[in-house]
Amino acid sequence: MYGWGAFSPVVSIQAAQQPDPVVTVATANSGTNVVIIWTAPVDNFAVITAFDLKIENNAGAFVDATSSCQESAATLLVTQTCTIPLTTLRSAPFSLSYNKLVVAIVNSQNMYGQSDYSQPNVHGATIRTEPTQVLGLTYLPL
C-alpha cells in the first residue's frame, strides 16, 4: 500500500571457527634425531597461528614437546615438521627407553581456539641408543 522501504545496511558474517584436528602424524628416525611430521588441518577460515606437539613419555603420559623442537615456532607453522635429538627424548621429561616407539599428538590453534588433538601415530621412529665407548682392550694370546 505504501511501497518498498529503503535497503538496510550491508551486514557481513564471518563463518570462521577453531581449526579442525590434525589428521595424520608420522615419526621417522633421521641420524641422531627423530623427525615428527603432521598434515596441516583445515583452518576454518581463520589462519592457524600455532601448533602444540606432545610426545608420550615412558610412563604413558603425553608431555609438551613443542619447546624441544629444533625448529622455531614460525618454521613449525610453515613446515609442520619438528626435529628432536634422540638424546633429548631419552632424558626427562620424556625418558623414553630403548626401542620404544615415539608416539606424538598435535593440535592446531587459530584466533577462535584450539582444535582437538590428533590421533597418536601407531608406526614410526623408535628410540635408538649409541653403543657405549670401549674403555680398554685386553690382548689374549691364542
CA quadruple 39, 40, 44, 49: dihedral, nearest 10:
150
* Residue 83 domain flag: yes
CATH code: domain of residue 77? 2.60.40
Q: Print the domain residue range for 29.
A: 25-114
pTM: 0.81
* Residue 15 domain flag: no
Q: How many domains does the chain have?
A: 1
* Residue 49 domain flag: yes
* Residue 140 domain flag: no
pLDDT tens track for 49-99: 999 999 999 999 999 999 999 999 999 999 999 999 999 999 999 999 999
- Tell which residue, 103, 134, 132, 100, has the closest CA to residue 117: 103
* CA–CA dist 60, 83 (Å, integer): 21
pLDDT for 2 beyond 60: yes
